[in-house]
A and B are shown apart, each in its own frame.
Chain A
Amino acid sequence: ILNVEQSPQSLHVQEGDSTNFTCSFPSSNFYALHWYRWETAKSPEALFVMTLNGDEKKKGQISATLNTKEGYSYLYIKGSQPEDSATYLCAFNSGNTGKLIFGQGTTLQVKP
């Protein structure tokens, strides 16, 4: 059974704080690792798709790294803003198929 674990489950920070979350995934049969941002009452929105060991991607103040050999990815938010409040999901793609295995998500609350 393929399992994707995210930690922490939830996080409360002050505006301006930097934060990071972890996603652990199986290190075998790796094809891609996805990160999504999911705001309440909206649909999940793709942030990054990472495929290569050592990949680093950046979008504004959000960045992500990937280690496929040990099976983890980090998502960093520099200088969190209240509008960054959302649930951040990672998803593992094994093999050349469309199927994603999602983690439970990390819910971030940024207080002004």
Chain B
Amino acid sequence: NAGVMQNPRHLVRRRGQEARLRCSPMKGHSHVYWYRQLPEEGLKFMVYLQKENIIDESGMPKERFSAEFPKEGPSILRIQQVVRGDSAAYFCASSAQVPVAYGYTFGSGTRLTVV
């Protein structure tokens, strides 16, 4: 069991480009969560998805950010027209159920740098 897989590990984008971050949850997990860690800050919730549905997107910026978790394939966090302030580490976590009895399984993160 490979755990939660995120790719790419590092992503460099120029201002105005699009960034696509991928997350494959653990086998058997149908709940996916995205968190962002800005420099010198803690993990901040962005969005919670269950297969094909967005359950809670209260932490997502209103513009330029979107997330999906299709029936087949990984969850995608998409950032359009990136700006320098989007530079951060983006972590994905998954769980088999909600409420979570044993904690989330986290991926290793994608470090986005906007130049």
Q: Give residues in A with beta carbon < 8 Å to B.
A: 31-32, 34, 36, 42-49, 89, 91, 93, 96-105
Contacts and interface: CB of A to CB of B under 8 A. Distances in A.
B55 interface: yes
Contact of A96 (B31, B43, B98): B98
5 contacts: A96-B98, A98-B100, A99-B45, A99-B48, A100-B104
Nearest to A91: B43
Interface in B69-115: 91, 93, 95, 98-109
Contact of A43 (B33, B41, B109): B109
Given A31-B99, A36-B103, A44-B106, A97 B43 contact: no
User: From DSSP, what is the main secondary structure of chain A's interface residues?
Assistant: strand
Interface string B35-60: 10000011111001000000110110
Contacts of A97: 48, 55-56, 98
Nearest to A97: B56
Contact of B91 (A31, A43, A91): A43
A38 to B, nearest CB: 9
Nearest to B107: A43
Given A47-B103, A99-B45, A104-B41, 10 more contacts: A36-B103, A43-B4, A97-B56, A97-B98, A98-B98, A99-B48, A99-B59, A100-B45, A101-B45, A102-B43
Contacts of B31: 98
